[in-house]
Amino acid sequence: MPAVIDASKCNGCELCDLYCPVDVIHMENEVAVVRYPEECWHCGACRQECARGAVSIEFSLAMLSV
Partner 1 sequence: MSDRPIHDIETDVAIIGGGTAGLNSAMAAAEAGCRVLVVDKANIVHSGAIAGGIDHFMAFLDTGEKWDTREAYLGYVASVAKGAADLDVHNAVYCDELAAALKRIERIGVSLRQSDGKILRTASMGQPGPYWINFNGKQLKPKMAMEIRRRKCTVLNRVQVTNMYLHDGEFAGFTGFNIRTGDFYRIRAKAVVVATGNTNRMFNAQTGNPFNLWYCPANTGDLHRAAFDVGVALANVEYVRMTIVPKGFSAPGFNAFFGMGAQLVNALGEPFMEKYHTMGPKAPRNVMVWGALQELKEGRGPIYMDCRHLEKKDLEHLFFTLGIDKDTLPDFFRAKGYAKNGAMIEMTVSEPMQARPSELCGSGIRIDRTCASNVPGIYAAGDASDQMGCLHMGFAGGFAAGKHAAAYAAKTKALRPLNAGAMKDEEARVYTPLERKSGITYREFENVVRVITTDHFGPVKTETSLTGALEKLDRLDSAKAELKADNLHELMRTHEAMNIHQVAKISALAALARKESRFQPFHYRADYPETDDEKYCGLMVIRKQQNGEITTHLDRLQYAI
Among residues 1, 9, 18, 30, which is the contact residue for partner 1, using CB under 8 A? 18
> Does residue number 28 form part of the binding site for partner 1 (CB under 8 A)?
no
Q: Binding to partner 1 by residue 49, rule CB under 8 A?
A: yes
For 22, other C-beta atoms within 10 Å of its C-beta total 11
Q: Give the CA distances from residue 28 to residues 18, 63, 65, in Å, rounded to whole numbers and listed in that order.
A: 13, 28, 32
Query: Which positions ≥6 away from 45 have C-beta within 8 Å?
Result: 16, 19, 20, 21
Q: Work out which of 31, 33, 43, 52 binds partner 1, going by CB under 8 A.
A: 43
Residues at the interface with partner 1 (CB under 8 A) = 18-23, 26, 35-36, 38-45, 47-49, 57, 59-60, 62-66
